[in-house]
Structure 1
């Protein structure tokens, strides 16, 4: 696990809401790589730190979240957004009791496309209703009524995925997060965007020394972009 002095400064200012993602595995040893990502005052993605992982077990995640907090020397975030990994959920509950844990809605919707198949086909009535409920409704009562009507009307009551995401709606649905500060990261691909960015810097099958070097180059370029926006803001002001 590592960070930079600049990233620690950014975390102190903007670490209220953090996403943590481990989907990137493009390295010679197929090791999961986790990124702590946030948003700055220019609404740019900023990288707080990275960690190469030997596995994705509960104890590993507990170590990661504990050590990250020690490493940046700052309070734990108010909100953390992740995918639906159960091991991560257990670890966060145990070592970050004061942090609100939410699932990144982008991950939920990505999984929905994989699991619901033809129900979300182009132009389907179910797709229109599902997207309206997931993306636009902000009232708990409207969400509950809308979801109930949707499953009764289209008959997917026995769909295991729909049952699972309804039972865990407190983790991702907008009406249940209206009082949770997420820096507008729930409905974007921001937690994935840093991984996509990293893929542009690190060739597939890279050894660790090249991986780290290219990660540092990516971090330098991101800092340069932020510096440009800071100067631009001062000039406009």
Structure 2
């Protein structure tokens, strides 16, 4: 069963488990159920910001249950796809260089828009569906559109993935639910010890 952690950052810049659930499916209905449970546990206070991968089912659930939450996509997951999506182009190196420059060097939206337009025009990428989709969703992933929000230095889902790795030291898919609950308690105790040691 997929493990869905809600991870934040504490005052020691450590990953902090805010809550989690085991979920049966990764579809919109399941995520809506998950977020409804989260809101119930948090006295109906949605998170100010949330970072996820580009999962469309999760995005729909976030829009429904956290309409005031700023939703950011993991920049690492997007950039990891660049060679695969653009590698077939003859001018691949130039396109990737222009894309990286537009994303990382643009300090404001005007600079990004110009750099993006120049890249699309220079390499005649107007019909590239992947790039068009990214551009349409630029407010979710391009750093210059997200800089006015507090992200606790988080740009990626790395903290969530590191939390999964932390739990891997305590549980695995071969164990039953009873074992998971016991080991989950041990994992939480260890996280509390690590935070106390950082004090």
The two structures have a TM-score, normalised by structure 1, of: 0.73
The two structures have a TM-score, normalised by structure 2, of: 0.86
* Cα RMSD for the two superposed structures: 2.4
Instruction: Indicate the larger mover: 37-46 or 153-162.
Output: 153-162
2:28 aligned to which of 33, 44, 58: 58
Whether the aligned pair in 2 keeps the contact of 1:116 and 1:161 (CA below 8 Å) is no
1:179 — aligned with what? 148
Is 1:110 equivalent to 2:80 in the alignment? Answer: yes
Could you tell me which runs of 5 or more consecutive residues in structure 1 were left unpaired when the two chains were aligned.
Answer: 1-30, 231-237
In the TM superposition, 1:163-174 aligns within 5 A as 163-174=132-143
Is 1:125 equivalent to 2:94 in the alignment? Answer: yes
Give the deviation of 1:114 after TM superposition.
4.0
After superposition, the Cα gap between the structure-2 partners of 1:209 and 1:168, relative to the gap in structure 1 and judged at 3 Å, is same
1:44 — aligned with what? 14
After superposition, the Cα gap between the structure-2 partners of 1:138 and 1:190, relative to the gap in structure 1 and judged at 3 Å, is farther
Q: 2 CA distance for matches of 1:216 and 1:136?
A: 44
Is 1:206 equivalent to 2:175 in the alignment? Answer: yes
Give the deviation of 1:96 after TM superposition.
1.6
Give the deviation of 1:192 after TM superposition.
2.1
Question: Which contiguous aligned blocks of 4+ residues in structure 1 show a shift greater than 6 angstroms?
Answer: none
Give the deviation of 1:52 after TM superposition.
0.7
Instruction: Indicate the larger mover: 63-72 or 38-47.
Output: 63-72
Give the deviation of 1:219 after TM superposition.
2.3
After superposition, the Cα gap between the structure-2 partners of 1:64 and 1:110, relative to the gap in structure 1 and judged at 3 Å, is same
Is 1:77 equivalent to 2:47 in the alignment? Answer: yes
2:126 — aligned with what? 157
2:111 aligned to which of 139, 142, 145: 142
Q: 2 CA distance for matches of 1:159 and 1:190?
A: 32
Give the deviation of 1:222 after TM superposition.
1.9
Q: Tell me, what secondary structure is at the counterpart of 1:201?
A: coil
Could you tell me which runs of 5 or more consecutive residues in structure 2 were left unpaired when the two chains were aligned.
Answer: none
